[in-house]
């Protein structure tokens, strides 16, 4: 197994609150998939909701960094944060994001770690070839 890329990002959830206040909930549709939105919206209180969005935003940014940055035509919805049955987060790449990872190694694996301490959320992504 070889490491192809590493990415990390930290997000202040208050930044997302300001985005929602300025541009409305539609702004979230541009960044998050329907499943990501449903998961965040299922939180039982507002701070948890914002942290779920912040974690997913940080994961998308960290994934872009692991894929060697921008410039490959990758859109937000092409990096999707899902959850295993165990509750552990994982990444699924679609479209240009998948093509970029595949170009780095045809048998790539992504590893994702999320953490938060209000108001901050962080993500760490490891891209490996196997």
pLDDT at 1 over 90: no
Convert the pLDDT of each residue in 60-113 to its tens digit: 999 999 998 677 899 999 999 999 999 999 999 999 999 999 999 999 999 999
| Residue scoring higher pLDDT (6 or 71) | 6
3.40.50.720, 3.40.50.620, 3.90.420.10, 3.90.470.20: which CATH number matches 2-129?
3.90.470.20
Provide the pLDDT for residue 118: 96
| Mean pLDDT (the chain, rounded) | 95
Convert the pLDDT of each residue in 14-62 to its tens digit: 999 999 899 988 899 999 999 999 999 999 999 999 999 999 999 999 9
Nearest CA to 66 out of 129, 7, 2, 3 is that of 7
With residues binned 3-state (H G I as helix, E B as strand, rest as coil), the percentages for the chain, rounded to 5, are 45, 30, 25
Supply the pTM of this predicted model: 0.94
Domain boundaries of the chain, sorted by first residue: 2-129
């Amino acid at each position: 197994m070889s490491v192809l890329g590493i990415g990390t990002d930290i997000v202040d959830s208050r930044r997302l609150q300001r985005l929602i206040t300025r541009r409305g909930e539609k702004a979230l549709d541009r960044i998050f998939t329907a499943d990501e939105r449903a998961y965040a919206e299922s939180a039982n209180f507002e701070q948890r909701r914002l942290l779920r969005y912040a974690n997913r935003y940080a994961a998308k940014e960290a994934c872009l960094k692991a894929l060697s940055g921008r410039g490959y035509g990758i859109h937000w919805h092409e990096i999707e944060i899902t959850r295993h049955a165990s509750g552990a987060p994982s990444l699924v790449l679609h479209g240009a994001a998948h093509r970029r990872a595949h170009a780095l190694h045809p048998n790539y694996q992504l590893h994702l770690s999320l953490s938060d301490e209000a108001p901050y959320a962080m993500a760490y992504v490891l891209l490996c070839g196997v």
